């Protein structure tokens, strides 16, 4: 471990706190998350407010950005630079990793009239002292967004947005920005929106942008995500109701792209269709109670790349469900809240039956849902999630959660948060992960503690700790090399301007 890293992280935190103390008290943006289009708030951001006070020339311009740094320390997971190593490995490899992540974004927007906006954003992401090889967190000086928007929904219900952009729908369980990641996610997309006072509906087609450090990022020519997503708050009182139909179509050229190209090693050929329903109570609609639920069914075809059916086109049939509820004591000190959530996603029950039943997680923001340490995705999983939060003062939020994880079917793999098979697909008793149907399906449990302090509307600091208690599935999988619980500590500061 580099002994200077904790000092550097502490220094970054002190700088953020100092900025909060000495900054002007005038309110600015309503959210720490930097908007992707000119905001409609009373404040347009630190830089924009100052420029517009100086001259009305700057009224149609949107100039701003975001700086984020995070110190991370990991033990017994995300083992870097050691091919063949596995999360929860006790010894025999570099099982500690301590590093700093940095991400900066700068954007420029122009809205000369209500029906037209142009927006461009650059991003620089890098790390210091990360042992992982290849480095998954670095992408220097690249184009993050560049889009045009046409139309004014207040005058005519149709608008269009074309170009490199973020896509985020619902809770981001299937399509999201993956903002926790140092790189994030964007798409080259065309989107048409119909919007009135009762509903909005998007129709879009897109290709995910692939990160290629030291080269200009391009989208995957062989992998299309298209869909229809609709939302209404009037169909059911006190509830937002959303319907969607998504299509992921990946050509047979995807995994065979020329070596060295950004598409090399892409996903296998597939035509997967997802139909879903999501419901969520509106804030305050039921007093202190809240609820949400989502169900997604899938069908189509996928070409298997490994195991006994490698090279075979399989019928795809899969299902995923989530349901949650909670209660907030709105009038009590600290507005404490407790909640309970259950997540399920199907796995493949029989590797030889000509079917593929593992739920396709598409392009999610998994960090929000299945534990702070990012071990899991919405694939082959049973997950029970207990959560609580407390606000001892206006600017400070404390959260604690506990998760239990089981594989939905031990005839299928243990999948990573990125949706990849963990450790291959062949049986590997005692020496790594694979398909081991005789093992217990209990993977383990995770405790997460997070404290978030809103220094100013444009600056925040966050500290988090996670501990994963390994279960029988992990112990059996790594019995020959030894297994251990895993720990995670991070400190993050964010400044938006």
What does the buried/exposed string (b/e) look like for 37-52 if buried means 16 or more CB atoms within 10 Å of the residue's CB? bbbeeeebbbbbbebb
**pLDDT score for 5:** 38
In the predicted model, what is the mean pLDDT of residues 291-295? 98
Inform me whether the pLDDT recorded for 410 exceeds 60: yes
Per DSSP bridges, beta strands 270-281 and 96-113 are unpaired
Inform me whether the pLDDT recorded for 18 exceeds 60: no
Q: Which helix (H) or strand (E) holds 116?
A: strand 116-128
Inform me whether the pLDDT recorded for 84 exceeds 80: no
Give me the sign of the Cα torsion angle 93, 96, 98, 101. Answer: positive
Residues in the chain, overall count: 497
What are the start-end ranges of the H helices in 113-241? Answer: none
In 196-312 the beta strands, taken as DSSP E runs, fall at 199-210, 218-232, 239-250, 270-281, 289-303
Residue-wise pLDDT for 95-137, tens only, equals: 999 999 999 999 999 999 999 999 999 999 999 999 988 888 9
In the predicted model, what is the mean pLDDT of residues 296-304? 94
Inform me whether the pLDDT recorded for 28 exceeds 50: no
Chain mean pLDDT for the chain: 89
In the predicted model, what is the mean pLDDT of residues 4-28? 35
Rounded to the nearest 5 degrees, what angle is found at the Cα of 366, between the Cα atoms of 214 and 485?
A: 95
3-state SS class at 278: strand
Inform me whether the pLDDT recorded for 83 exceeds 80: no
Instruction: Supply 366's token pair.
Output: 């998994």
Highest mean pLDDT pick, 12-21, 33-42, 395-404, 433-442? 395-404
Q: Which residue has the higher pLDDT, 359 or 261?
A: 359
CB atoms within 10 A of CB 179: 19
Residue 351 — very low, low, confident or very high, per pLDDT cuts 50/70/90?
A: confident
Q: What is the pTM of this model?
A: 0.89
What does the buried/exposed string (b/e) look like for 107-132 if buried means 16 or more CB atoms within 10 Å of the residue's CB? bebebeeeeebebbbbbbbbbeebbb
Residue whose tokens read 């949107």: 62
Residue-wise pLDDT for 227-247, tens only, equals: 999 999 999 999 999 999 999
Inform me whether the pLDDT recorded for 34 exceeds 90: no
Q: Which residue has the higher pLDDT, 477 or 266?
A: 477
In the predicted model, what is the mean pLDDT of residues 357-367? 96
Q: In the chain, helix, strand, coil percent, each to 5?
A: 10, 50, 45
In the predicted model, what is the mean pLDDT of residues 412-417? 91
Residue-wise pLDDT for 169-196, tens only, equals: 999 999 999 999 999 999 999 999 999 9
In the predicted model, what is the mean pLDDT of residues 402-429? 83
**pLDDT score for 42:** 62
**pLDDT score for 406:** 98
Q: Which helix (H) or strand (E) holds 70?
A: strand 61-75
Nearest residue to 164 (alpha-carbon basis) of 198, 214, 208 = 208
**pLDDT score for 487:** 98
Distances (CA, A) of 61 to 34, 49, 150, 152: 15, 11, 16, 17
**pLDDT score for 416:** 87
**pLDDT score for 25:** 35
Inform me whether the pLDDT recorded for 33 exceeds 50: no
- Distinct helix (H) and strand (E) counts, the chain: 3, 19
**pLDDT score for 260:** 65
Q: Report the C-alpha gap between 63 and 43 in whole angstroms.
A: 13
**pLDDT score for 497:** 94
Q: Report the C-alpha gap between 474 and 180 in whole angstroms.
A: 26
**pLDDT score for 352:** 86
Residue 8 — very low, low, confident or very high, per pLDDT cuts 50/70/90?
A: very low
Q: Report the C-alpha gap between 386 and 189 in whole angstroms.
A: 37
**pLDDT score for 425:** 56
């Amino acid at each position: 471990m580099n002994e200077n890293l904790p000092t550097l992280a502490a220094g970054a935190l002190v700088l953020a706190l100092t900025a909060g103390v000495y900054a002007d008290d005038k309110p600015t943006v309503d959210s720490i998350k930097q908007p992707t289009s000119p905001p409609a708030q009373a404040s347009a951001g630190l830089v924009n407010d100052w420029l517009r006070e100086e001259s009305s020339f700057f009224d149609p311009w949107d100039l701003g950005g975001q700086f984020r740094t995070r110190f991370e320390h990991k033990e017994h997971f995300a083992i870097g630079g050691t091919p063949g190593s596995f999360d929860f490995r006790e010894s025999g490899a570099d099982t500690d990793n301590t590093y700093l992540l940095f991400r900066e974004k700068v954007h420029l927007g122009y809205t000369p009239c209500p029906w037209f906006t142009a927006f461009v954003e650059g991003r620089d992401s890098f790390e210091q002292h990360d042992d992982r090889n290849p480095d998954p967190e670095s992408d220097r000086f690249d184009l993050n967004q560049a889009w045009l928007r046409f139309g004014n929904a207040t005058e005519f219900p149709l608008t269009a947005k074309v170009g490199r952009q973020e896509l985020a729908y619902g809770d981001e369980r299937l399509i999201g920005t993956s903002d926790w990641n140092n790189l994030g996610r964007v798409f080259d997309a065309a989107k048409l929106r119909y919007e009135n006072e009762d509903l909005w509906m998007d129709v879009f087609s897109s290709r995910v942008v692939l990160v290629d450090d030291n080269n200009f990022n391009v989208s995957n020519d062989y992998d299309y995500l298209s869909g229809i997503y609709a939302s209404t708050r009037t169909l059911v009182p006190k509830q937002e109701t959303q319907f969607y139909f998504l299509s992921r179509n990946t050509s047979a050229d995807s995994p065979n792209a020329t070596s060295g190209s950004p598409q090399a090693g892409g996903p296998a050929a597939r035509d997967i269709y997802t139909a879903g329903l999501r419901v969520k109570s509106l804030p305050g609609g039921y007093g202190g109670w809240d609820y949400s639920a989502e169900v997604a069914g899938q069908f189509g075809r996928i070409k298997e790349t490994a195991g006994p059916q490698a090279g075979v086109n399989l019928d795809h049939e899969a299902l995923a469900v989530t349901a949650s509820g909670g209660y907030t004591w709105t009038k009590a000190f600290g507005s404490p809240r407790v909640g309970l959530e259950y997540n399920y996603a199907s796995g493949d029950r029989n590797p030889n039956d000509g079917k593929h039943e593992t739920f396709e997680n598409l392009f999610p923001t998994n960090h929000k849902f299945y534990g702070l340490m990012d071990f899991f995705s919405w694939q082959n999983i049973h997950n029970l999630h207990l959560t609580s939060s407390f606000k001892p003062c206006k600017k400070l939020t404390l959260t604690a959660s506990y998760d239990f994880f089981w594989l939905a079917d031990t005839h299928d793999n243990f999948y990573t948060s990125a949706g990849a098979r963990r450790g291959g697909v062949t049986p590997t008793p005692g020496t790594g992960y694979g398909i081991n149907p005789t093992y217990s399906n209990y993977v383990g449990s995770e405790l997460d503690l997070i404290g978030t302090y809103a220094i100013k509307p444009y600056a925040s600091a966050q500290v988090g700790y996670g501990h994963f208690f390994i279960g029988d599935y992990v112990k059996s999988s790594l019995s020959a090399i030894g297994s251990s619980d895993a720990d995670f500590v991070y400190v993050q500061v964010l400044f938006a301007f």
